Chains A and B, each alone.
Chain A
Amino acid sequence: MVAVTVSNVKKSFGPTEVLKGVDVHVPAGGFAVLVGPSGCGKSTLLRLLAGLEEVTSGSIAFGEREVTPLPPRDRDVAMVFQSYALYPHLTVRDNLGFGLKLRKTDPATIKARVDEVAAMLGLGHLLERKPKALSGGQRQRVAMGRAIVRRPALFLFDEPLSNLDAALRAQVRVDIRKLHDQLGATSVYVTHDQVEAMTLADVMFVLNGGFVEQSGKPLEVYENPATKFVAGFLGSPAMNFIRATIDAGSGAPRAILGDGGVTIRLPPAVADAVQGGAKVELGVRPHDLERCAAGEADVTLTIDFVEFLGPEIHAHCDLAGTKVVACVETSEGAGVEIGAALPLKIRRMHLFDLESGRALR
C-alpha cells in the first residue's frame, strides 16, 4: 500500500485543457473517490494515475516514488475498467493469471493465487469458461479478480458498477468496500454517482471543469459544501437555490428573496458572514424544509406538483419565482396535494456569493 500524491497536474488533449492544475492526496490504505459530472476530468485523472496517459505538467508520486514518467507496467497498479475489458480469447483462469504470466511468475504460484482469488470471489466454477459465456455480474467479478490477483499497491476503479443493474450495484458496492478493508491496499475510485461516492469514500474529491472543487470526508463535504457547485452536486433531490438580497437594516439581517415578495430572517450563524446589500444565492436542501403549523412557518408555499416516492413525498412549489422542492415524510403527508398551501420551516440554510459561487460562512 502506498500514499498517492498528485501535485498541480495539468493535462491537455490538443487545444482542450481537461485538467487545469489538480492536487490530490490519498493516504496509504485509503479509499479515495473522484466524483463529478461528465467531462470534469475524473476519468482522465485516473488514467494519468494508471499511466495510460502522460501528464502535460505536474507530477504524480506513489509514496516516496516519483512515477510521472513511468509506463503502467512499472507502476504496480491494477485497474478495473467500466466495460471490464476482459481478454475475450482467454478463459477466466487465463484472464486472472495474465498479469502474473507476463511477469514470468512460476506456474504453481499463478495457479495457487488464481485459485485463492477465485474462491474469494466465488469464481471457482467459472474458471474454464470464456468471458462471452459469463453474465454481467460474473464478468465484473472476473475483472475485480484480475486486479486482486496481482496484489498491486494501488487499485484503480473506473466506474466499475455502471454496467450493472440497480440491485446488483448496491450489493457489489458493499463487496468492493469489504474487499478494500480486507486487502488493505490504497484504492482510487471514479464515479459520477454521488451515492457510491458518499458510501465508499474515506476521502472524496469533487471535480468540476478540470479543478478539484472540494475534498474531504464525504459527510463533511455534504454538510459544508465549499461552493454552490458542490452543494448542488451532492444530495438528492438537489439543493434549492434562490437569489436573494441581504437587508441589514434595523434588527436582525433578513434576506429579500427573488423579486422581493418574500422575506426571511437569517439565523445568526449565517448572518455574521454577510453584509447588508450583498447579492447572494440562498441554498436550502429539500430535506431541510420542514412542514410545520401555519403560524410557525418561515415561508408558506403553494404546491404545483407532487411526487410520491414511498417513504417520502416531494412537493414541487414556487418560491418568489423560483422552483423549489420540499421533502415531506409520508406519515406527515396528509393534505399535500396540488394547489394546497404548504407552511414550511427552514431548518438549515447556506449562502453562496452570487459572483464566485463560494460559500459565505
Chain B
Amino acid sequence: MTAAPLDLRSRAAGRLLGAALGVSALLVAAPASADDAPIQLWHAYRGAEEDALNALLARHREAGGPPVETLAVPYDAFGSKLGSSIPLGEGPDLYIDSHERLGDYRVRGIVAPVGDAFAGPEGYRAKAVEAVTLDGDIWGLPLSQKCVALFVNKALLKEVPDTLEGIAALQPELPEGVFALAYEAQGAYAHAAILGAFGGSLLGPDDSFGFVGEPAVRSLDFVQSLIDRGAVPSDADGALVTNLFRAGKAATAISGPWLAADLAQSDVDYRVVVLPTIDAAGGAPMRPLLTVEAVMLSPQGAARPEVRALAELLAGPEAAALRQEKARTLTARSDVPLPPGDELLAAFAAQAEVATPMPTAPAMRATWEPANRAIKAFLRGELDAAAATEGARKRFDDVRRPPPPPANPTPLLVVVGLGLLYLAYSMVRAARSGELRSNLKRSLPAYRYITHAVITVGLLVIVPLVVGAATSLWAGRPETGHYVGLANFVDILTARGGPLLATGSFYLVLLVTLLWTISNVVMHLALGVSLGLILSRPTMKLRGLYRVLLIIPWAVPNYVTALSWKGMFHRQFGAVTGVIEWMNATFGTSVEPIAWFAHFSTAFTANLATNIWLGFPFMMVVTLGALTSVPADVLEAAEVDGATRWQRMWRVTLPIIRPTLLPAVVLGAIWTFNMFNVVFLVSGGEPDGTTDILVSEAYRWAFTREAQYGYAAAYAVLIFLMLFTVTRVGEWRAKVREERELAAAKAAQAASGGAH
C-alpha cells in the first residue's frame, strides 16, 4: 500500500540527486575550448568605464572582429576567480587588472607575456611600460594609470606653495578648524609619496624590507613635524580625508581620481596640481605610487592570435581616446593628446611622470602590515622612528622567513591507509555476519530520505572542512607549496621560536581571545537578562516600543554597526570626543579626548562596547522567550512562601530559565570567539596587533602576509579543535548530570517500591 508514494518520493529524491550531481559536474568539468569559441574578457569596470569598453567592443564587432563575451568581476574577487578558473582551462582569454598583481599572477601561472601584441614602447608612457615589465618581458599592455595628486580648495588657497613646508606654513592663516593638508598620515600607501621624496621605498632590492634606515627615519620625523604644527590631522582615514575636504575643513588633500568622483556631487571649488616638493628632502619631489591598469593575457589566451590582436586594439590609440573621452581616465599612451582644457587630467598626467610604479613582486603584499604598524606606533609616540621601522623589518622578515622544509608524507599516508584498511575490514566483517545486509535492507528507505541532506552537508560543510584541515599540512603559496606535516602546528604552538607571550604569538592571542569571549558573554548575559526581566514586567508602559528599539542593534548588519562605532571612537572627530568636548565646554572640565586605539585597554574596550551593543539583544530575546516558561503563580507561590523580590529572581526565575539560556550562552560564546567583523573593523588589531583574536590573526596570515594559507589553516584547525572540545565537554557534563538525576529518581523509586 505504501509502496507507491514511497516509490514516488524516491524518484523525486533521485531527481534531486541527479540535479545535485549535475551542478557539481558543472562546477568541476572543463569544457573543451575550440579555436572558434568567442573571446572571453573579464574586467572590474563599472559605470562610464564599462560603457566605454562596451562601445569599443561594439566597434570591434562592426569591423568584423571575432565575437567577444565580457564578464564584470568584482575587483576584490578578481585574483581568486582567475586563480580558480584559468588553471582548469576555463576563465578569460584576456582580462583587465592592476599591474601590481602581475608578480603574483606570474607565480601562479595565470598570466602569460603578451608577445607580439606589444609592438614596441613607442606610443606608451615610459613609466607605464616600466610597470608591466618583469625580467625583461612585457606581461600586460598598459591602458591607464592612477596615482594620487594634490587637491586644492580654491576658496581657501589662492596660490599653492611649491613645497610641502610652504603649505604647512599657511596653517596659522587658515580659519579655525581647517587643516592645511589632509591625507592618510597613518597609512603606508600615502606615506610612500613622502618616503619617495627622501629616496626610500617600501620594498627594497631583492625583496627586502625597504621602509627602514635613514630615508624611513627622516620621512617619519618630517611627518611628525607637520602634525606637531597642527597642519595635518594625525589619524585620518580615507573617508575622513574625503569628508574634511568636501566640508571645506582642509585647504589641500592628497588623494586620487576617486576623490574627484566623490566631489562631483558637491559644490567645493577645487583644482588638482602636482604634489609639492619637500625642502627637508633637498627639494626632491614627492613620489606617489603609480598603479597602471593593463590588459593581460591568460596562457590559453596568449596562444590565440585573435586574442592578442584584441589586446592590442584595447591598448591602442583609438581605444585610449575613447576611454579618455567617455570615462575621463588618464591614458597610458603618450601619442594620445589630453582633452584640451582638462586641467584635472593634465595634473594627474604630470603627476604620473614623477610617480614610482608600484612594485610587482609578491613580497610587496607583505610590506603593508608592518609598515602601517610602524607608522602608527611612531605617530602614537610609542617608539622612535628608528625602532619602529626596525621592528617592522623584523616582522616582515619573520613573516617571509622560508617555509619549513618538505616533510616526508609517508606517516600521513600510513595513517590514512590504516584508517581506510580498518574501515574496509569492519565493513567486510559486518557484511559477513549477515546482519549488515538485513539492516541495510530494512533501513534503505530511511537512507533514501536523508540522501539529499547528506550530500548537501557533505558538499557545504564536510568537504571544505577536510580541505581546510588538509591545507594546514602544507606550507608556502598554494601553487608552489609543499607538504610539511605538522610543522605549521609546531611553529604556532612554539610561538615561532620566540617568547611564549610575545606580541602576535599564539598564546598571547589566545589569552586575548579568551578575555574577549568571557567579558563579552558575561556582559551579554548581564545586560540581556536584566533587560529581559525589566521588559517582561507587565506593569511597564510602552513595552512593545522598547522591545523593538532594543532589538534594532541585532537587526542592523554587524559590519555597519562596527563601522559606525569605529567612527564614534575616532580621537579627533568621533562622537565620544564630541561628548567630551561638549562636557569640557559646558562644565569647564579639561578632559583630554581619548585616543581609543592607541592602547590595548581602550582599544579592547572599544571592541567590547561594540560587540556588547551587537550581542545583548540576542540574550534579551532568548530571556524574554524563556521567561514565558516561568508561570506567574509559581512566583506568587514563592512570594507567599516568604521570598523577597531578589530571592524570587535568584532562586526561582533564574534557575527556571537557566536550561533555556545555557545553549544560547554556548552559541554566543562560539560566535564571540570567532567574531571577526568587530575586531577587524573597529580596532583592526590596533594597537600593534594586540587586540587581534585568533580568527583575525588567521585572516592576516592568509591575506596580508603573502598568502600563507597553510599557516592560516593551521590556526583555523586549532580554533576548531578548541571549540569542539569545549562544546563536547559541556555536553558530556550536562549528560552526566542528567543521568545522575535519573538514577537518583530510579533508586528512590525502587526503594519505595519495596515499601508500597
Q: Give the B-binding residues of A (Cβ under 8 A).
A: 50-52, 71-73, 77-79, 81-83, 85-90, 98-99, 102-103, 124-130, 133, 146, 150, 156
Contacts and interface: CB of A to CB of B under 8 A. Distances in A.
B540 to A, nearest CB: 16
B656 interface: yes
A126 B755 CA distance: 12
Contacts of A150: 641
B67 interface: no
B748 A146 contact: no
B642 interface: yes
B738 to A, nearest CB: 11
Nearest to B656: A89
A73 B643 contact: yes
Nearest to A74: B642
Which secondary structure dominates chain B's binding surface? helix
Contacts of A124: 752, 755
Given A102-B642, A125-B752, A146-B637, 17 more contacts: A50-B640, A52-B639, A72-B639, A72-B642, A73-B639, A73-B641, A78-B640, A82-B633, A87-B656, A89-B658, A124-B755, A125-B748, A125-B751, A125-B756, A126-B752, A150-B641, A156-B640
Interface of B: 631, 633-634, 636-644, 647, 651-652, 655-656, 658, 741, 744-745, 748-749, 751-753, 755-756
Contact of B755 (A73, A78, A125, A156): A125
Given A87-B634, A87-B652, A88-B656, A77 B640 contact: yes
Given A125-B748, A125-B751, A87 B636 contact: no
Contacts of B651: 98, 102
Closest 3 A/B residue pairs (Cβ)? A125-B752, A99-B641, A73-B642
A128 B744 contact: yes
Contacts of B748: 125-129
Nearest to B755: A125
A102 B634 contact: no
A73 B648 CA distance: 12
Contact of B640 (A79, A83, A88, A89): A79
Contacts of B741: 130
B633 A85 contact: yes
Contacts of A71: 639
B154 to A, nearest CB: 69
Contacts of A128: 744-745, 748
Given A87-B652, A102-B643, A129 B631 contact: no
Given A88-B634, A127-B748, A146 B641 contact: yes
Nearest to A128: B748
A43 to B, nearest CB: 11
A81 B745 contact: no
Contacts of B643: 73, 102
A255 to B, nearest CB: 50
A126 B747 CA distance: 11
B745 A86 contact: no
B24 to A, nearest CB: 48
A124 B751 CA distance: 10
A140 B642 CA distance: 20
19 contacts: A71-B639, A72-B640, A72-B642, A79-B640, A81-B636, A81-B637, A83-B633, A85-B634, A85-B636, A86-B637, A87-B652, A89-B658, A98-B641, A125-B748, A126-B748, A128-B744, A128-B748, A129-B749, A146-B637
Contacts of A99: 641-642
**Residue among B633, B652, B745, B751 with the highest chain A CB neighbour number at 10 A:** B633
A52 B638 contact: no
A282 to B, nearest CB: 44
B652 A125 contact: no
Contact of A89 (B636, B655, B755): B655
Residue among A78, A124, A125, A146 having the largest count of chain B Cβ atoms under 10 Å? A125
B428 to A, nearest CB: 46
